[in-house]
Amino acid sequence: MFASRYSYSEVLVDSDGEHHGPELGALLTDTLDKLKAKYQRRSKLRALANHTRNPRKREHIRRFNLGRKKLDRQMDKTHARIRDTVFQAVHTVVDKAAVIATEDLTAPMAGKSFGKNVTRRLAAWTKGVIAEALDSVSSRRGSAVVLVNPAYTSQIDSRNGCLLGKRQGDRFHCVDGEVLQADQNAARNVLARLTDPEIERFMPYRQVKAILQARTERLRLRLPNQDSSCSPARALSTESESLKNHHEQLCVGF
C-alpha cells in the first residue's frame, strides 16, 4: 500500500518519492503555450474581419483563417498524447501496490488563486483523465484506489502531521530547517490521511483546517521552554523525528 499525488510537473508522485510520467509538465507547457499564441492570433484576425468594410476580405478571413478543422485535429493529437502519458504512468503506479491512496481529484482546490497561465495548464480535463486512468487501470488489474480528502495535504509536515513549515515550489521547508521534496511530502500526508479517524473524505476544508490547527497547537504546547540548551526548533526536531519513524513504517517499502 502506498499513496500517490497529482502534480503539474508529472502525472503522479508516490510516497516512496518516485515520479511517474515526468514528461507531462513539459508536454502541457509546450502544447498549451502554443495554443495560447494561436488563439491570440485568431482573435486579432477575428477582430480584423469584424471591422473591415470589405465583404470579400471578411469572408476570406473567416473561411481560410478562422476554421476549426485543423485546430480540432491538433487538439485531438494533444489529448491523445496526454492520455497516453497518463495511462502509462498509472500502470507503473499499479505495478507497485495493490491498494493506492490518492487525493480526490474532483474536489475543488479551495482558497487557491492561480495566474492565467497556470490555470490554463492545470486544465480540469487533465485531472479528469488521471482520475479515469486510475479507476480504469486499477479495475482491470485488480488493484484498489481509495480516495481521501485533499485539503492541506501540501501544507503539512509529513513527519508530525501539523501545519508547521512552508511549501515553496518543489521544496517544503520545515521549521527545524530540514527541507523535504514537496510532492513526496504531500503524498505521505495523503497516505496518513487514509487511516486518519478524524478527517473524512467529504469534510469541508474549514473543518479540516480546524482539526489541523488543534493538532499543531497541541504539539506546540508539548515543546519545552526555550533556554540555552534546548530551543523550540531542537525540541520540535526531536518530536518530529519520533513521528517521522512512525510514518516511515507506512511509506517505505511498499
Tens-digit pLDDT profile for residues 123-167 = 657 888 898 999 999 999 999 999 999 999 999 999 999 999 999
For residue 33, what is its C-alpha cell?
Answer: 503555450
Q: Taking residues 42-69, what's their average pLDDT?
A: 92
**Residue 252 pLDDT class (50, 70, 90 cuts):** very low
Inform me whether the pLDDT recorded for 210 exceeds 60: yes
Average pLDDT, the chain: 81
**Residue 224 pLDDT class (50, 70, 90 cuts):** low
Domain ranges of the chain: 1-148, 153-254
| Stronger pLDDT, 120 or 25, i.e. the higher one | 25
**Distances 25 to 58, 80, 134, 180 between C-alpha atoms, Å:** 39, 15, 19, 21
**Residue showing cell 500502470:** 91
User: Within 13 Å of residue 83, how many CA atoms lie on the same side as its CB?
Assistant: 12
**Residue 177 pLDDT class (50, 70, 90 cuts):** very high
For the stretch 94-132, pLDDT in tens is 998 889 999 886 665 544 544 565 555 556 578 888 989
Distance CA 49, CA 65 (A): 10
For the stretch 5-24, pLDDT in tens is 766 678 899 998 899 999 98
What does the pLDDT read at residue 6?
66
Which residues make Cβ contacts (< 8 Å) with residue 152, sequence separation at least 6? 163, 205, 208, 209, 212
Q: Taking residues 190-219, what's their average pLDDT?
A: 94
What does the pLDDT read at residue 215?
94
Inform me whether the pLDDT recorded for 233 exceeds 50: no
| Stronger pLDDT, 160 or 247, i.e. the higher one | 160
What does the pLDDT read at residue 114?
47
